[in-house]
Amino acid sequence: MTRIAVVGAGGMLGTDLMRALSDHDATALTRNELDITDADAAVEVLSGYDVLVNASAYTRVDDAESDEENAHLVNAVGPHNLALAAARHGSRLVQLSTDYVFDGTATEPYPEDAPRHPVSAYGRTKAAGELLALEHNPGRTAIVRTAWLYGKHGSSFPRTMLKLAADRDTLDVVNDQLGQPTWTGDLAAQIVALIDAGTPSGIFHGTNAGRASWFDLAQAVFVCAGLDPDRVKPTDSSAFQRPAPRPSFSVLGHRAWLDAGIEPMRDWKQALQAAFDSGALTAE
């Protein structure tokens, strides 16, 4: 049986990955078990695994603007070390990445081979991680870019909306940023499908289908929760100035899944309803 190591297994995606891999030979590695910024530790700990999945990341997008060195350590040096370990042991590597490797100026879904052009510190470090992983474990590395993640085991936009709904009559939410809300439950299952297909190398976009603004997502969350969606009011990004620039367009294309014989992920509205039905989204 294929032996799988999930690095960053204590996070929102990592937790769902371990659940999705319950019938596989999978080992959960949190930072306590492996510090990915330590190259020697990566080589030692990851010996004997056929597939490495790196779900660990520095995801504090705004903090990265003033803390790019530490973000680079986790998001670039870490994947570099994992790729070196994978190459040493002949393992396949699945490196999680992000829509922030693009500048967000497109008007049509970004294909997997679109040029990287990050405009934030976080995006730069994740783009570097992609390149290093591909370079140092060539032919055995799959990059899975995702975006707008939410799930049961961490903070997320839908959960924030539910919490605010309990305290406020109305909420102002931006409607000039487009992306693909993505449930970690679906993404975890998609990564398992990638592993079961032999972990084809290349770049894949791991997002639910369709597109939405944050305003659309907030209204959909209210509907799923049985609340009045008219309590959500549209505004634009100028009302929420933040240190890191946000891509205005983060819709990703999914052609690589079809080319690999794997069905892309379902529409984001279906996934959101399923997340509510499963109990993955509550205000708690």
Q: Within a domain: residue 205?
A: yes
Is 90 exceeded by the pLDDT of residue 240?
no
Contact in structure between 50 and 2 (CB atoms under 8 Å): yes
**Prediction pTM value:** 0.97
Contact in structure between 65 and 93 (CB atoms under 8 Å): no
User: What are the C-alpha distances in Å from 89 to residues 74, 86, 120, 171, 222?
Assistant: 21, 5, 34, 51, 48
* pLDDT at residue 284, as a whole number: 63
Q: Within a domain: residue 225?
A: no
pLDDT digits (tens, 9 = 90+) for 79-117: 999 999 999 999 999 999 999 999 999 999 999 999 999
Catalytic residue among 49, 110, 122, 150: 122
pLDDT digits (tens, 9 = 90+) for 259-268: 999 999 999 9
pLDDT digits (tens, 9 = 90+) for 165-221: 999 999 999 999 999 999 999 999 999 999 999 999 999 999 999 999 999 999 999
Question: Is 122 known to be catalytic?
Answer: yes
CA-CA-CA-CA dihedral for 25, 198, 132, 177, to nearest 10: -90
Q: Could you give the number of structural domains in the chain?
A: 1
Tell me how crowded residue 23 is: count the other CB atoms within 10 A of its CB: 8
Q: Within a domain: residue 272?
A: no
What is the CATH number for 261?
A: 3.40.50.720
DSSP per residue, 199-256:
---EEEE---BS-EEHHHHHHHHHHHTT--GGGEEEE-GGGS--SSPPPSB--B--HH
Q: How far apart are CA 19 and CA 211, in angstroms?
A: 27
Contact in structure between 127 and 101 (CB atoms under 8 Å): yes
Domain range enclosing 189: 3-155+180-210+251-266
pLDDT digits (tens, 9 = 90+) for 269-281: 999 999 999 999 9
Residue 7 pairs with which residues in a beta bridge? Answer: 29, 54
Burial class of residue 112 (count of CB atoms within 10 Å of its CB; 0-12, 13-18, 19+):
middle
pLDDT digits (tens, 9 = 90+) for 8-28: 999 999 999 999 999 999 999
Q: Within a domain: residue 148?
A: yes
Q: Within a domain: residue 233?
A: no
Q: Within a domain: residue 271?
A: no
Side chain identity, residue 173: V
Side chain identity, residue 251: V
Q: Within a domain: residue 276?
A: no
Q: Within a domain: residue 243?
A: no
pLDDT digits (tens, 9 = 90+) for 38-86: 999 999 999 999 999 999 999 999 999 999 999 999 999 999 999 999 9
Residues in the chain: 284
